Amino acid sequence: MQKSCDLQDDYLKLNLQPIQRGILECRGKIQGMYPIYLPDKHLYIQKLVHHEHLRTLHGGVGLTMTSVRSQHLVPHLRKLAKRTICACHCCKRFQARAAANLPPGSLPVDQT
């Protein structure tokens, strides 16, 4: 029930128009620039975001989002891009932090 309600809201807000075989375009104010609407829960979108993340050489959230938005309109894209980058093994390696410095151990009592 929630899914159909979200799609109806997107139809109204984004002026979605069907073009062929169930593909929706977002008709905006710029003539000739009609991005394809893709729902964020689909597996294809997750693969697309991961592919764009790798294509931008493990770019951050903003660069990945810009690359995806050049051709597609995806709701909740920032959340999906963050999740993809956090799951990336190469990016995890570079986000690692060093262990905190431990206090020095107690010295033995001087036997003089």
Burial class (CB in 10 A: 0-12, 13-18, 19+), 3: exposed
Give pLDDT tens digits for 13-62: 888 888 888 888 888 776 777 888 888 888 999 999 999 999 999 989 99
How far does Cα 34 stand from its chain's mean position? Answer: 21
Q: What phi, psi does 17 have (nearest 5°)? A: -125, 130
Pairing of strands 36-37, 23-26: antiparallel
Q: What is the pTM of this model?
A: 0.71
